[in-house]
Amino acid sequence: MTTNEGHSAEPLRLLAVHAHPDDEASKGAAMMASYAASGVRVMVATCTGGERGGIQNPRMEGDAHSGRDMGGARRLEMARAAAILGIEHQWLGFTDSGLPEGDPLPPLPANCFALKPLEIAAAPLVRLVRRFRPHVIVSYDENGGYPHPDHIMAHKVAVEAFHAAGDPALYEGAGEPWEPQKLYYDLAFNPQRFRALHFALQDAGLASPYAERLAAWLEADTEGHTPPVSKHPTTTQVDCGEFFEKRDDALRAHATQVDPDGFFFAVSPDMQRKVWPWEDYSLVESRVPATTPENDLFTGLR
Residue 163 neighbours by CB under 8 Å, 6+ apart: none
Structural contact between residues 193 and 280, judged by C-beta atoms closer than 8 angstroms: yes
DSSP reduced 3-state for 111:
coil
Total residue length of the chain: 302
Residue 111 has a CB neighbour count (10 Å cut-off) of: 10
Rounded Cα distance, 210 and 69, in Å: 34
Q: Is 20 annotated as a binding residue?
A: yes
What amino acid is encoded at 66 in this protein? S
Q: ∠ CA 160-238-261 to the nearest 5 degrees?
A: 95
Structural contact between residues 116 and 143, judged by C-beta atoms closer than 8 angstroms: no
Q: Is 232 annotated as a binding residue?
A: no
Q: Is 151 annotated as a binding residue?
A: yes
- DSSP of 199-215: HHHHHTT---TTHHHHH
**Residue 104 half-sphere exposure toward CB, CA atoms < 13 A:** 3
> If we measure between CA atoms, which residue out of 93, 99, 132 comes closest to residue 116?
93
Residue ranges at the known binding site:
20, 23, 151
Annotated binding-site ranges for Zn(2+): 20, 23, 151
